[in-house]
Structure 1
Amino acid sequence: MADTGRWMLWTLAVHLYMLQGGALTVTMSESNLEVLRGDAVTLPCSFFTSSPLTKLNVIWTLAPFSNPENPTQVIVYDHGQVMDSPSFTGRVGFTGIPRSADMVLNDTRESDAGVYRCMVHNPPETTELGVGELTLTVLSPPSLPVCQWDGDIADGGSVTLSCSVAEGIPTPEIEWSKLNPEEIPLPVSMDGDMSGFAQIVNVSSQTSGLYRCSASNALGTEHCYVNLSIYSTPDAPSGILQGALLTLSMSLVLLALLLLVTWLHRTGQDGRWRQRKEDDEYNEIPYTPSLIKRSFV
């Protein structure tokens, strides 16, 4: 019974091969794969051929999302020899060669994301390559965002809070919130895929406080913070009070000038009076009896 089953499978394989005109076939059991950055992933690629595998040639290439027009070679199996690209050395290898072209990729990076092609050639069976494709997405949590503010922090001014993140797949969602005295979400406008800003107009003392930016995707959330201190100018006095203050200030200035002039005037008179007194005392001849007697001798 087991022999009959194997014979039927062999017959089916031969008929399929004959229907395909002897062409080598490549099958990808997955068309899309996802892997968390830093983890390992196996990219499946199986093929069918009726020729000996002594001249088997397998090439894996990558067209990265960042530069799809320039695919790069990842790893090659050629006549029993394995060669990998310098950028993948130590991170890539075959798992079942020569019976399978499955490739394992270790320590995945965001730059590994893109479209992978598995190309198999096994002369002399056919001169055409068997080709299969799959898309690999490398997921990563958001990196630590960068927060900053710009604008006028005086009463009535306008402030812009901006937040940007360098990494994250899927693309992180940006949110802004005021944290105290209670958490209040703020409307966010996106500036590209990886940054967002919140606009605060007509700021006042109530605007002061701690603000938080959150960058989130399915793999995690990261935060950064901005502390705003709004400068409040004192209220301007009313017109009447302002006039009274101005009048009082001028009166005080005039009074001070009057006192200064009076003091200078009195100081000048006292000085002249003392000078005259000193002069009179100097010119006066003292009268003594002895002096009179000698004058008549």
Structure 2
Amino acid sequence: MDAAALRVTMRESSVEVVRGDSVVLPCSFFTSSPLSRLNVIWTLAPLSSPEAPMQVIVYDHGQVIEDPSLIGRVAFTGLPWSADIILNGTRVSDAGVYRCMVNNPPEVADPGIGELVLNVLAPPSLPECQWEGHADLGGSVTLACTVAEGVPTPEIHWDKLNPEEISLPINMEGDLTGSVQIVNVSSQTSGLYRCSATNLLGTENCYVSLSVYSPPDSSSGVLQGVLLTLSMSLVLLALLVLVLWLHRTGQDRMWREEEDCYNEIRYTPSLMKRSFV
């Protein structure tokens, strides 16, 4: 018997899967000994914390033991003839370096350990848009956009949608945050802005509506004041004319009444004289 008969090979060096789908992680081995003492151990060094590997699943003397966090999501597919496993309902946190270790005493494994990388792809999460600064005429505004997740890393773009669509230069602050700075804002700055986060699995957008405050034009205010003054002057003049007309009309009426009274008194004596003749 060859003391180094056990060999482990990985049919793939890396595997990709879309988040939520199932994936088979292949691990093949060759041995010339009975499989009654076969031992298979899968471990994972997560991309998020490669220095802290975790045990995924174990096959030992006919029994399968799963990591409690993966119960119901991981299983062997071909024991005892292969050490392949299937991972269901994949998550971004499942990504990392997987190692398949096979032992089958009394044989000695050579090399006994296989390794592959699992990449879990995910579309961009919904980005978060916000703005800060002073939206007054001549002020400065910063538009910021942050996306929490996406594999591959999403590309971030800013566009102004109206009155016409314009692509804006962007400043990247890390991989997942992009901002746009607008200085000396004016009425033309007002409008609807869109941030897009895109990778090969899709695009997600968020929006910011920006309104720039413009104080009233001083010349327009002066003109309005002049017009208001003229209007009030015309009204006062009309009232004065009306008062004078009413006053004149009243005087004419009084004169006519006094004249009538005087005529009555003047003719009364003659009337009385005639009555006694």
Q: TM-score range by the shorter chain?
A: 0.7 to 0.9
1:151 corresponding residue in structure 2: 133
AA at the equivalent of 2:204 = E
Report the CA distance between 1:236 and its aligned residue.
4.5
Report the CA distance between 1:235 and its aligned residue.
3.7
Contact 2:5/2:32 (8 A) holds in 1: no
* 3-state SS of paired residue (1:214): strand
Determine which of 161, 181, 185 is the counterpart of 1:199.
181
Q: 1:101 to 1:155 in 2, by over 3 A?
A: same
TM-score (norm 1): 0.72
Does 1:95 find its partner at 2:87?
no
Report the CA distance between 1:51 and its aligned residue.
1.1
* 3-state SS of paired residue (1:99): coil
Determine which of 31, 46, 50 is the counterpart of 2:13.
31
Contact 1:120/1:129 (8 A) holds in 2: no
Tell me the distance in 1 between the aligned counterparts of 2:149 and 2:27: 30
Contact 2:127/2:204 (8 A) holds in 1: yes
- Deviation digits for residues 46-95 of structure 1 (CA, Å, limit 9, x no counterpart): 00111111000000000000000000000000000001001110000000
Does 1:44 find its partner at 2:26?
yes
Tell me the distance in 2 between the aligned counterparts of 1:146 and 1:155: 26
Determine which of 199, 208, 213 is the counterpart of 1:231.
213
Segment of structure 1 superposing worse, 128-137 or 182-191: 128-137
- What is the number of residues matched between the two proteins? 225
1:141 corresponding residue in structure 2: 123
* 3-state SS of paired residue (1:87): helix
* 3-state SS of paired residue (1:206): helix
1:257 corresponding residue in structure 2: none
* 3-state SS of paired residue (1:34): strand
Report the CA distance between 1:116 and its aligned residue.
0.1
* 3-state SS of paired residue (2:181): strand
1:75 corresponding residue in structure 2: 57
Does 1:113 find its partner at 2:126?
no
Does 1:185 find its partner at 2:162?
no
Tell me the distance in 1 between the aligned counterparts of 2:197 and 2:203: 6
Contact 1:121/1:128 (8 A) holds in 2: no
* 3-state SS of paired residue (1:233): coil
Contact 1:56/1:122 (8 A) holds in 2: yes
Gaps of 5+ in 1: 1-16, 249-297
Tell me the distance in 2 between the aligned counterparts of 1:33 and 1:231: 54
Tell me the distance in 1 between the aligned counterparts of 2:179 and 2:5: 57
* 3-state SS of paired residue (1:161): strand
Tell me the distance in 2 between the aligned counterparts of 1:199 and 1:82: 57
Supply the RMSD in Å over aligned alpha carbons: 2.1
Report the CA distance between 1:234 and its aligned residue.
2.9
Gaps of 5+ in 2: 230-277
Report the CA distance between 1:23 and its aligned residue.
4.0
Report the CA distance between 1:233 and its aligned residue.
1.9
Tell me the distance in 2 between the aligned counterparts of 1:79 and 1:167: 41
Within a 5 Å distance, the mapping from 1:277-288 to structure 2 comes to none
